[in-house]
Amino acid sequence: MNILLVTATYYPTVNGVSFYIKTLKKELEKNGHKVFVLAPSFPGFKDMEKNIIRYPSLPNPLVKRYPLGVPIVLMSKLQKLKIDVVHVQHPLVIGKFAVSAAEKLGITLFFTAHTNYEQYLNYYFPKGYFLASKFILNDIKNLATKCQTVICPSSETQTRLKNHGVKNTTLMLNSVDTEVFSPIKKPKSEIFRIIYVGRIEKEKNPLFLIDIARELKKRKFKFEMLIVGTGNLWAKLSQRISKLKLEDEVKLGGEVPNQVLPILYNSADIFFTPSTSEVMPITILESLACGVPVGVLKNSNLESIITNNLNGIVVPNKVGAVAEEIIKLASDKKLLNKMSKNARLEALKHSVTTYARDLIKIYKADN
């Protein structure tokens, strides 16, 4: 098949959607399909990857690494590609473009609901939340009516969309390359290692990690915490670490190359995410694939994949409770080993090989 993946964000911008597209494209191509990615241009960046089509973009005054796409593409250019399906990753402007392109090309449109926009709006526009969330939900519903299928990366997302009147959904949890991300035997250590990989933004609640670190140190627990990623709260995080004298315990890794991530995951005893606005983060699947258990907060929309004391821990949204569970886990090597094995088994259910095969079945069933 000839597949067009339409997105508002792609490399060199690093985020879950970029990872998703890159991993999926590679797997689909491995299986003989031709995959084109339509993404915004990025100043000074030249694509080495084949079949990447860039549309114009404008500088983003709020986040430099996220240029604002202006999806203007000659339809004649797309017609020459002989596309079979269009698969869009976002609503709003890029969603409307994808609808128009699919209609003009006379082909089927699919949409993956990667983001819980309502929760994001609550973080960034608390005063105008009601109107803004109503607007975006209406936009998603309108997009869904133009799609053959809306793909939901989590059962929570599927339930939420169905409650808002979107009926044409199918559940497909995100995937991970289980060959790239796999367990590596690590040396024994007296220090318990915690890792977080993700954007350092308000909606990800990263300052909660520093509160956990402070509590663990207060309880005289030996640990190291590595925070990998970049974002608008990076400087604030750094200042907080310094102010609380946590420099020996907490390290900020910044942005790291993809090939380094499996090594970093494998260096940890647990991956902990403080976010409560997730859909199905690929970083969690990557951690599980490396045999590293995952800690999540209750009601974080991640309890469909993380089961307490099986492949991770599910804890109340309280610093003391999180610290207590981490200390308890560190003292129970038998439980930690069991969780590690179960983490890998869970990830294998979500391999990109299986995901790509199932996605093609959905594409073909609807054509």
The tens digit of pLDDT for each residue in 312-323 reads 999 999 999 999
Task: Give this prediction's pTM.
Answer: 0.90
Segments of the chain scoring below 50 in pLDDT: none
Q: How far is CA 43 from CA 54, 56, 65, 69, in A?
A: 11, 10, 10, 12
pLDDT of residue 124: 62
Q: Which residue type, as a one-letter code, is found at position 21?
A: I
Secondary structure (3-state) at 13: coil
Topology, domain 2-175+351-365: Rossmann fold (3.40.50)
Rounded to the nearest 10 degrees, how much is the dihedral formed by the CA atoms of 335, 179, 273, 14?
170
pLDDT of residue 366: 63
pLDDT of residue 159: 93
Q: How far is CA 327 from CA 48, 128, 194, in A?
A: 46, 41, 11
pLDDT of residue 122: 63
DSSP state letter for 80 = T
67 and 41 in contact (C-beta within 8 Å)? yes
Q: List, by residue range, all CATH 3.40.50.2000 domains of the chain.
A: 2-175+351-365, 192-348
Topology, domain 192-348: Rossmann fold (3.40.50)
pLDDT of residue 125: 66
Query: Cα separation of 179 and 332, whole Å?
Result: 29
pLDDT of residue 123: 58
